[in-house]
């Protein structure tokens, strides 16, 4: 039995940029999904960086869509509804031809994937800016509106997974239908030449235009992002360092940031210092007056931050205890009980044992380091 | 010749160190605080032994979470203590923390708070003097 050793003629379809873009995006979306869906807030920094890179990749792909060669160009694969319906009819009749580049459905898939990823990058920057007051929009978005857009970011993330599933299904279907391994073509860049291939007048890529536009566009994005990120968020948490509050209250415990409780809770705490969570924490009256005024001026109501917002919802039976709030309980429920009763944490109220930035009032998730 | 000079210098330095370290235990500010308690109590000396007994004992009149001084300060007073939320407290022994009991406002604040937490009442001048005398002797 002999194998035909005739070498099939191939033709280059996917250029090196399209292939690098595709597989980098696969890796990037993989890491973003893993950090976003599975690891959670602790991996926020990685998630943000990989999301920014994905956004940059999509941006470059958009430019390549106008400056790349034939098969990379949107004009070669984005078709109107009439041609798309025609393609669907052909598929139903089993008369659809093989397409060297994207078929009409594949073209729409590309646009949908690029659009959703761009939307994820944009909503991600918005959520990051508002929720954690980090990134380019740190000083431009309020906490509540940033947190409000988180759901949309999540919906887009799920939509992306659905689109990826469609994309894979389409690739598998088309590979079987046309007896051609499309995934391998995205690796090698080449497809087999066949009789009946559509005649092509191939457009040449314009790499110089691509590089110039890409460098200029990304440079502008990075520059404006960095410039924008310098804006101080309005009503940011006050600094605790050097205050009378810090000097007196940190003798026994960490400095609970004034924004972690509403003013009414601080009033109650300062009025009951003789029985302060089971101890006498007496202070001279003038010190009490000074600290009370400072706490009132920088309480949760006066601060725009995620901790201030989430801890404003108190446990009405125990309004002086941050660790009794629904948010605290929900976000700490996964931690083992004995972690809070043994060194080096000792107590639920010792936030600083794990949160490195308690004094700033931000409580940024990547600054959490659980004890060994 | 040079060696001899160094030897004498070492003796001189040693003597100086003793001269400084000696009064360290008898800081004038701390002496004044103890003298104030002595005049309030109408006594001339305090008892380190009584101070130790008060400091180490378990009491019942105060808040249930703090039955004794050593609940937080621990029985090793040359080592650090720990507040109920894990914040370290400098050693109480004056030999380890020389700045202890040199600020009357601070001493009064903590006697006020802690006597109430542990005993459920204010401490007498005699008790304060005894405890300070005990901790200064460590």
What are A257-296's pLDDT values in tens digits?
Answer: 999 999 999 999 999 999 998 889 999 999 999 999 999 9
Q: How far apart are CA B125 and CA B114, in angstroms?
A: 14
Tokens of residue A33, six digits: 């999904």
Number of residue pairs across A and B with CB atoms under 8 Å? 52
Tokens of residue B105, six digits: 């406002």
Q: Any bridge partners for residue A11, and if so which?
A: A191
What residues in A contact B82, CB-CB < 8 Å? 346
pLDDT of residue B7: 54
Tokens of residue A63, six digits: 């430019």
Element (H, E) at B82: strand B81-82
The tally of CA atoms less than 13 A away on the side-chain side of residue B61 is 9
Is the per-residue pLDDT at B22 higher than 90?
no
Nearest to B136 by CA among B35, B15, B18: B35
Is the per-residue pLDDT at B18 higher than 70?
no
Burial of B74-92, coded b for 16+ CB within 10 Å and e otherwise, reads beebeeebebbbbbebebb
Q: How does pLDDT run across A239-255, given as a tens digit for each residue?
A: 999 999 999 999 999 99
Q: How far apart are CA A236 and CA A138, in angstroms?
A: 10
Is the per-residue pLDDT at B12 higher than 90?
no
Q: Are A252 and A281 in contact (CB under 8 A)?
A: yes
The C-alpha angle A208, A210, A214, rounded to 5 degrees, equals: 120
Q: How far apart are CA A222 and CA B82, in angstroms?
A: 48
pLDDT of residue A198: 75
Is the per-residue pLDDT at A73 higher than 80?
yes
What residues in B contact A343, CB-CB < 8 Å? 86
* Record: contact B65-A280, CB cut-off 8 A: no
Helices (H) and strands (E) in chain B — how many of each? 6, 2
pLDDT of residue B5: 45
Strands A190-192 and B88-89: unpaired
User: pTM (2 decimals)?
Assistant: 0.84
Mutate to test the interface with B, among A279, A281, A321, A371 (most CBs of B within 10 A): A279
Strands A190-192 and A10-12: antiparallel
Is the per-residue pLDDT at A362 higher than 60?
yes
Q: How confident is the model at residue B13 (pLDDT cuts 50, 70, 90)?
A: low
Closest Cβ opposite residue A345 in set B63, B86, B116: B86
Tokens of residue A199, six digits: 């005649």
Q: How confident is the model at residue B21 (pLDDT cuts 50, 70, 90)?
A: very low
What residues in B contact A346, CB-CB < 8 Å? 82, 84-86
Q: Could you tell me if A353 lies within 8 Å of chain B, comparing CB atoms?
A: yes
Q: How far apart are CA A79 and CA A99, in angstroms?
A: 13
pLDDT of residue B10: 53
Closest Cβ opposite residue A279 in set B86, B109, B117: B117
Q: How far is A267 from chain B (nearest CA, A)?
A: 20
* Record: contact B114-A280, CB cut-off 8 A: yes
The tally of CA atoms less than 13 A away on the side-chain side of residue A303 is 31
Q: Could you tell me if A216 lies within 8 Å of chain B, comparing CB atoms?
A: no
| Chain A residue closest in CA terms to B112 | A282
Q: How confident is the model at residue B6 (pLDDT cuts 50, 70, 90)?
A: low
Question: What mean pLDDT comes out for the span B56-72?
Answer: 92
Q: How far apart are CA A253 and CA A276, in angstroms?
A: 12
Q: How confident is the model at residue B24 (pLDDT cuts 50, 70, 90)?
A: very low
Is the per-residue pLDDT at B77 higher than 80?
yes
Closest Cβ opposite residue B84 in set A250, A343, A347: A347
End-to-end Cα distance, chain A: 65
Question: What mean pLDDT comes out for the span A311-324?
Answer: 95
Taking the alpha carbons of A315, A316, A318, A319 in that order, is the dihedral positive or negative?
Answer: positive
Q: How confident is the model at residue B27 (pLDDT cuts 50, 70, 90)?
A: confident
A40: DSSP letter = -
Sheet strands (E) in A6-74: 10-12
End-to-end Cα distance, chain B: 42
Mutate to test the interface with A, among B64, B80, B87, B123 (most CBs of A within 10 A): B87
Q: How far apart are CA A271 and CA B57, in angstroms?
A: 31
pLDDT of residue B1: 38
Q: How confident is the model at residue B20 (pLDDT cuts 50, 70, 90)?
A: very low
**In Å, what is the CA distance from A225 to each residue of A129, A232, A234, A304, B2?**
11, 14, 18, 22, 68
pLDDT of residue A260: 97
Closest Cβ opposite residue A278 in set B63, B87, B112: B63
CATH numbers and ranges of domains, chain B:
2-137 (1.10.760.10)
* Record: contact A282-B113, CB cut-off 8 A: yes
Q: How far is B121 from chain A (nearest CA, A)?
A: 11
Q: How confident is the model at residue A301 (pLDDT cuts 50, 70, 90)?
A: very high
Is the per-residue pLDDT at A1 higher than 60?
no
Q: In a 3-state reduction of DSSP, which class is residue A141?
A: coil
- Gyration radius (Cα) of chain B, Å: 18
pLDDT of residue A9: 87
Is the per-residue pLDDT at B65 higher than 90?
no
Mutate to test the interface with B, among A280, A283, A340, A349 (most CBs of B within 10 A): A280
Q: How does pLDDT run across A31-67, given as a tens digit for each residue?
A: 999 999 999 988 999 999 999 999 999 999 999 999 9
Neighbours of A165 (CB within 10 A): 10
Q: Any bridge partners for residue A279, and if so which?
A: A276
Taking the alpha carbons of A87, A89, A91, A96 in that order, is the dihedral positive or negative?
Answer: negative
pLDDT of residue B23: 43
pLDDT of residue B8: 57
Q: Compute the residue count for chain B.
A: 138
Is the per-residue pLDDT at B4 higher than 60?
no
* Block residue for tokens 């950090």: A35
Q: How far apart are CA A205 and CA A72, in angstroms?
A: 9
Q: Any bridge partners for residue A355, and if so which?
A: A368
Q: Residue A249: is it exposed, middle or buried by C-beta count within 10 angstroms (0-12/13-18/19+)?
A: buried
A341 vs B20, more confident = A341
Q: Are A214 and A68 in contact (CB under 8 A)?
A: no
Question: Which residues in chain A (273-292) have CB-CB distances under 8 A to chain B?
Answer: 274-275, 278-284
Is the per-residue pLDDT at B72 higher than 60?
yes
CB within 8 A of A258, min separation 6: which ones? Answer: A238, A240, A245, A266, A294, A295, A297, A298, A299, A300, A303, A361
Q: Are B34 and B133 in contact (CB under 8 A)?
A: yes
Q: How far apart are CA A188 and CA A190, in angstroms?
A: 5
Q: Residue A196: is it exposed, middle or buried by C-beta count within 10 angstroms (0-12/13-18/19+)?
A: exposed
Q: How far apart are CA A274 and CA A284, in angstroms?
A: 12
């Amino acid at each position: 039995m002999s194998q035909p050793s005739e070498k099939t003629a191939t033709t280059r379809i996917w250029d090196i940029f399209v292939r690098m873009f595709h597989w980098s995006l696969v890796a990037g979306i993989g890491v973003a999904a893993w950090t976003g869906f599975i690891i959670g807030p602790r991996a926020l920094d990685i998630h943000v960086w990989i999301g920014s890179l994905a956004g940059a990749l999509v941006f470059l792909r958009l430019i390549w869509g106008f400056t790349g060669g034939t098969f990379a160009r949107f004009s070669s694969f984005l078709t109107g509804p009439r041609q798309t319906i025609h393609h669907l009819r052909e598929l139903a009749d089993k008369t659809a031809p093989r397409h060297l580049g994207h078929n009409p459905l594949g073209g729409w898939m590309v646009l949908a994937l690029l659009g959703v990823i761009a939307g994820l990058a944009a909503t991600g920057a918005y959520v990051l800016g508002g929720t954690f007051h980090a990134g380019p929009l740190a000083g431009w978005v309020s906490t509540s509106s940033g947190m409000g857009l988180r759901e949309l970011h999540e919906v887009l993330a799920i939509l992306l997974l659905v689109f990826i599933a469609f994309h894979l299904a389409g690739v598998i279907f088309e590979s079987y239908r046309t007896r051609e391994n499309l995934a391998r073509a995205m690796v090698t860049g080449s497809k087999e030449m066949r009789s009946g291939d559509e005649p092509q007048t191939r457009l040449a890529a314009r790499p110089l235009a691509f590089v110039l536009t890409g460098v200029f566009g990304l440079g502008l994005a990075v520059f404006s992002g960095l410039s924008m990120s310098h804006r101080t968020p309005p009503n940011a948490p006050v600094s605790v360092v050097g205050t009378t509050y810090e000097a007196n209250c940190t003798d026994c415990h960490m400095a609970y940031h004034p924004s972690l409780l509403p003013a009414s809770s601080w009033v109650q705490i300062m009025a009951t210092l003789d029985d302060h969570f089971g101890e006498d924490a007496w202070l001279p009256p003038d010190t009490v007056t000074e600290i009370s005024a400072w706490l009132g001026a920088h309480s949760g109501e006066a601060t725009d931050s995620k901790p201030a917002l989430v801890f404003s919802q108190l446990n009405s039976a125990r309004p002086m205890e941050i660790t009794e709030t629904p948010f605290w309980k929900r976000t700490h429920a996964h931690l083992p009980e004995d972690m809070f009763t043994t060194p080096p944490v000792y107590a639920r109220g010792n936030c600083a044992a794990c949160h490195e930035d308690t004094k700033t009032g931000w409580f940024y998730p990547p600054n959490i380091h659980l004890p060994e | 010749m040079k060696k001899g000079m160094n030897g004498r210098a070492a003796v001189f330095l040693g003597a100086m160190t003793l001269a400084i370290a000696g009064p360290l235990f008898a800081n004038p500010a701390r002496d004044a605080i103890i003298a104030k308690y002595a005049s309030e109590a109408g006594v001339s000396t305090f008892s380190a032994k009584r101070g130790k007994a008060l400091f180490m004992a378990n009491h019942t009149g105060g808040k249930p979470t703090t039955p004794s001084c050593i609940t937080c300060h621990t029985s090793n007073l040359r080592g650090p203590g720990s507040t109920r939320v894990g914040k370290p407290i400098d050693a109480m022994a004056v030999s380890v923390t020389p700045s202890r009991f040199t600020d009357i406002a601070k001493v009064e604040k903590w006697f006020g708070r802690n006597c109430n937490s542990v005993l459920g009442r204010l401490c007498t001048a005699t008790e304060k003097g005894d405890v300070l005398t005990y901790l200064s002797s460590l």
